[in-house]
Amino acid sequence: MKSIPVLLMGCGGVGRQLLEHVVNCRALHSRQGVVLRMVGVCDSRSLLVVDDVATKGMKDSFLMEICRAKSSGSSLASLLSLGQCQIFKDSEMMDKIIDIAGHLGRSTGLAVVDCSASSETVSILKQAVGLGCCIVLANKKPLTCGIEAYEKLISNFRCIRFESTVGAGLPVIASVNRVLASGDPIYHIVGSLSGTLGYVMSEVEAGKLFSKVVQEAKSLGFTEPDPRDDLSGMDVARKALILARLLGRRINLNDIKVDSLYPDELGPNSMSTEDFLSSGLSSVDRDFQEKVRAASLKGKVLRYVCMIEGSRCEVGLQELPKDSPLGRLRGSDNVVEIYSRCYKDSPLVIQGAGAGNDTTAAGVLADIIDLQDLFQ
C-alpha cells in the first residue's frame, strides 16, 4: 500500500469538504493501493500535528471532529483535549510546517495542500517546494503573485497540481497541459469562469433586472457576502492569469484589463454592502438592459468572460453568438473554449459545474491522488 503524507492548510468550506472526501474514499483508495495519511491540519491561527509524522496519521474519527469543530466556529485548539495531536500557534506554526516539510520532503515525500484563501501561504509553499515536497492548490493567490515568486513555485512542475484554482473539478488545467505537451500551440482561450456571473448573465438575458438577479444569487448562496467581490471580476482575472501564465505569458495581475460590473462610485470605499444591495445596484439596471438589448439586435448574447489571445488578456462583458458554447450557457456552469492548430475550426470545449465546495474539494483530492507516483 502506497502512503501519501498530507498536510492541509485551510479549514474553511473547501478544506473541511476535502477531509470528508478523504474519509469517505478510504475503501476506493484502498482498492487502488493508496492511503492518504493526514499528518497535520492548520487554520490561520494554529496547527494540529500527529506526534510522529513519519509513521502516523490522524484517525478518521478525529478528522470528522475537526470538520464539526470548524463548522461550528470553534478553534482547532478546542480539539487538543482529545489527545491525538500536538498544537503549534502563530510563528511556531509556520516553523513547524517547514520542519515537517524538511523531514518528509526528501524521505517519504509530503503533499502540502493549500485550501486557504490567503496570500500569506506563498512563502511556506516556496520553501516546501525547495525541500522536495509536492504542493496541491485550491487557493488561487499563490499562483497570481509576482512573476518571480510564481516561477519559483512552479520550478518543479511535476510536483505541483492546481486544477481546482480555475475550474473547481473541471479538467481545464489538465486539458491545456495535454494540448501544449503534444506540441499543438494554443493561440486563443475564452471562458466563463465564474459560476456566479454565469448565473447572473443568463438570468439577465431572460429578461430579469440585473439588481434583482444579483439579490437572488446572494440569497441562493452563489455570491460572496458582499456580491461586489464577484461583480468586480477580480476572481475571474486571477483565473485568467493562471491560464495565461500556463501559455507562457510572463504577466502580472495588473497587466490584465478588468471590467467591473459596477462603477467606482458604488465600490466598497464609497458605500456599505447594505446600501449597495438596497439602492446602488438598481442604478445600473437601465444600462444593463440597454447592453442586453443591443447584443440581442445583433443576434448575440452578453457573457462575462476571460479572453486570452496573443499578448491580450482581458476580463469583462463580451457579445457572443447565441449558438456558441458560451452563448448557450445557462445557470452557474463554467465553459471554456480552447483554440489551437488542431482545435481551430471546432474548439476543445470543457463545460460543467465549476463552483462549490464539494466540486472544488473533489478536484483537490483527484490532484493529490494524481501525484501518487512521486511517493515511495
Give bridge partners of residue 55 from the DSSP assignment.
Answer: none
Cβ-Cβ contacts under 8 Å for 261 (sequence gap 6 or more): 197, 200, 231, 232, 233, 284, 304, 317
CATH for the 2-168+358-374 domain, from 3.40.50.620, 1.20.140.10, 1.10.10.10, 3.40.50.720: 3.40.50.720
For cell 517546494, name the residue. Answer: 129
Binding residues for NADPH: 140
Q: Tell me: pLDDT of 68 over 90.
A: yes
Q: Which residues are catalytic?
A: 239
Identical fold at 2-168+358-374 and 182-353? Answer: no
Give the predicted TM-score (pTM) of the model: 0.93
In CATH, the number for domain 182-353 is 3.30.360.10
Write out pLDDT tens, residues 222-255. 888 889 989 999 999 999 999 999 999 999 999 9
Categorize the per-residue pLDDT at 39 as very low, low, confident or very high, splitting at 50, 70 and 90: very high
Categorize the per-residue pLDDT at 256 as very low, low, confident or very high, splitting at 50, 70 and 90: very high
Binding residues for L-homoserine: 224
Write out pLDDT tens, residues 145-157. 999 999 999 999 9
Binding residues: 10-15, 140, 224
Map out the domains of the chain as residue ranges: 2-168+358-374, 182-353
Give the per-residue pLDDT at 224.
80
Q: Average pLDDT, whole number, for the chain?
A: 93
Give the per-residue pLDDT at 376.
75
Residue 16 DSSP code: H
Cβ-Cβ contacts under 8 Å for 26 (sequence gap 6 or more): 35, 60
Give the separation between CA 192 and CA 316, rounded to whole angstroms. 10
Write out pLDDT tens, residues 88-101. 998 899 999 999 99
Residue pair 166/242 in contact (Cβ under 8 Å)? The answer is yes
